[in-house]
Amino acid sequence: MIKNDKPKRILVVDDDQTIRAFLRDYLESLGHQVETAQDGFEAIAKLELDIDLVFLDVRMPGMDGFEVTRWIRDNSQFKDIPVIMATGLNTPQDRIRAVEAGANDFITKPFDCTEIYTRTTSLLRMKEAHDALKSYKNELEGTVAKRTEALRRALDKMVDTQRRLREANLETIHRLVIAAEFKDMNTAAHIQRMSRFSAMLARKINLTPGEVESILYASPMHDIGKIGTPEEILLKPGKLSGDEWLEMKQHTLFGAQILENSSSELLHMGEIIAVSHHERWDGGGYPHGLAGEEIPLWGRICTIADVFDALASERPYKKAFTNEEALKILKEGSGKQFDPQLVDIFTNNMSEVIEIQNKISRFGNDK
């Protein structure tokens, strides 16, 4: 049966020429290729010949069989080669030493051919199974590495696409906001400051970093609906008439309409902010007259950020209030126009508010 298998290469190590010749003839008759060595040193050198099994004499001059076995087991390249030890001294001590040195099996001299056949066959099978497992493992590692690489590339591409999509989204929003500003005369600086005030408030009430970022980008959309408000109303220096005021209030609903039904989370948040940033805590706001926590949190946050910045900035119809004056108005409106808790948080973080004001000048440039 072995004769039909792929030839195996067996290294026969024995200082006795007669035994080497006998083993060579017999193993070759089984279909194996045989290399021979007359001592331990030659054996070690010949391990390089892609050996599948070592047939090793115990008693040899120089390096004995135990030493050769130990050397094989300690060598990472050869440690898996099976070793059969052949000894004339069939003592239990020898067997123990052979096992301790790392031999897989042993045969006693004089040799019995059946014994040689059965032991070499079973050890060669074991080696074959071991080799197959090793190459399967290597192949598997290669496949896994290749797939991991492909997955990584796909992920990189996905992240890149998402990033570009998000940038395109943000740019669209920015352009929309600018379009609304053209009519309103609101400066870019107002948008930048109020969005940062909003993000600061969101951070202080422990919203997630994702929500904080979203409010930073969604809050500039609060007045986007003013794109639908007639210019003569938007730019009117004096007080608005009743009808004009009604028209003005429409910007909340226009904004919501512009942004509604979007699958983008940011635009959806923008819609909520657009429609709720003029609601009042006491229910006296517009367009729906919601009160307290009925008003979406995003809207309540943006109201404070928006009103404070409007107060502290110069507008065509008014001079800028000082921060102290603006803060006083905010506090007076606490629980009336504004969510009282958010007013407290805003008031307690004036150093960050001032930092944002210092960073973004009236002309909209980051200093």
The nearer residue to Fe ion, 249 or 268, going by C-beta atoms, is 249
- Give residue 342's identity as a one-letter amino acid code: L
Which of 47, 306, 312, 346 is close enough to bind Fe ion by CB under 5 A?
306
| 52 or 306: CB nearest Fe ion | 306
CB of 14 or CB of 306, closer to Fe ion = 306
Hey, which residues does 83 pair with through a beta bridge?
54
Q: Which is nearer to Fe ion, 116 or 256 (CB)?
A: 256
Determine the interface stretch with Fe ion among 104-112, 221-229, 289-297, 326-334 (rule: CB under 5 A).
221-229
Per-residue string for binding with Fe ion, 20-59, x by CB under 5 A? ----------------------------------------
To the nearest whole angstrom, how small is the minimum distance from the Cβ of residue 159 to Fe ion? Answer: 34
Q: Which of 64, 94, 223, 279 binds Fe ion (CB under 5 A)?
A: 223
Alpha carbons 361 and 318: distance in angstroms, whole number = 18
Residue type, 348: N
CA distance from start to end of the chain? 87
Angle at 297 between CA 235 and CA 321, to 5 degrees: 40
Instruction: Tell me whether residue 102 or residue 296 sits nearer to Fe ion (CB atom).
Output: 296
Smallest CA-to-CA distance from 233 within 211, 218, 252, 248 is with: 248
> What's the closest the beta carbon of residue 191 comes to Fe ion, in angstroms?
7
Count the neighbouring beta carbons within 10 Å of the beta carbon of residue 35.
Answer: 18
How many residues sit in the footprint of Fe ion (CB under 5 A)?
Answer: 2
Output the smallest distance, CB 355 to Fe ion, in A. Answer: 20
Instruction: Identify residues 114-173 at the interface with Fe ion (CB under 5 A).
Output: none
Taking CB under 5 A as the criterion, which residues in 228-257 touch Fe ion?
A: none
| Residue 54 near residue 83, CB atoms below 8 Å | yes
CA 46 from centroid of its chain's CA atoms = 49
Neighbours of 97 (CB within 10 A): 19
CA distance 75 to 105: 19
Minimum distance between the CB of residue 247 and Fe ion, rounded to whole angstroms? Answer: 13
The reply on whether position 271 binds Fe ion by CB under 5 A is no
Token pair for 129 = 């199974």
Q: With respect to Fe ion, which residue has the nearer C-beta, 279 or 306?
A: 306
Question: Which is closer to Fe ion, CB of 223 or CB of 271?
Answer: 223
Euclidean distance between CA atoms 219 and 211, whole angstroms: 12
Q: How far is the CB of 223 from Fe ion (least distance, A)?
A: 4
Per CB under 5 A, which region of 77-85, 104-112, 113-121, 222-230 contacts Fe ion?
A: 222-230
Q: How far is CA 353 from CA 196, 213, 215, 324, in A?
A: 9, 17, 16, 12
- Spell out where 39-88 has E strands: 53-57, 83-87
Determine the interface stretch with Fe ion among 7-15, 39-47, 71-79, 304-312 (rule: CB under 5 A): 304-312
Which residues here bind Fe ion, judged by CB under 5 A? 223, 306
